[in-house]
Amino acid sequence: MTLQQFRYMVEIAKHNSISKAAAALYVTQPSISKAVRDLEAELGITILDRTNKGVVFTKDGTELLFYAKMLLEQMESVVHHFHKEKKKDVTKFAISSQHYGFAIEAVANLMDYFAERKYELAIREGKTTDVIDDVYASRSILGILSLTDMNKHFFERYFISKSLMFTPLASLKQHVFLRKEHPLAYLECISLEQLRDYPYLTYQQDDMLLHFAEEALNIDNIGKLVYLKDRGAMNNLLSNTDSYNLGTGCIVNNYMNPNIISIPLEGSNLIQVGLVKRTDVFLPEELLVYIDFLKLALEKSMPNNIYK
Domain-by-domain residue ranges, the chain?
Answer: 3-83, 91-169+272-301, 173-270
CA distance 245 to 176: 6
Pairing of strands 164-173, 200-202: unpaired
Instruction: Kindly state the DSSP code that residue 211 receives in the 8-state scheme.
Output: G
Inter-residue contact 263 to 185 (CB < 8 Å): yes
Q: Does domain 3-83 have CATH number 2.30.30.190?
A: no
**How many Cα atoms sit within 13 Å of 136 on the Cβ side?**
17
pLDDT tens sequence for the chain (308 residues): 888 888 888 888 888 888 888 888 878 888 888 988 998 899 999 999 887 777 888 999 899 988 888 888 888 777 766 665 555 578 889 999 999 999 999 999 999 999 888 899 999 998 888 899 899 888 899 999 988 877 777 888 888 888 899 999 999 998 999 999 999 999 999 998 999 999 999 886 554 444 444 444 555 567 888 988 888 899 999 999 999 999 899 999 888 899 999 999 998 778 899 999 998 888 888 999 999 999 999 999 998 744 44
Q: What does each C-alpha distance from 178 to 2, 19, 216 come to in angstroms?
A: 55, 44, 18
- How much is the pLDDT for 212? 42
| CATH number corresponding to 91-169+272-301 | 3.40.190.10
Q: Do domains 91-169+272-301 and 173-270 have the same CATH topology?
A: yes
Whether domain 173-270 has CATH 3.40.720.10: the reply is no
pLDDT reported for residue 50 = 80
pTM: 0.67
Identify the pLDDT of residue 76.
78
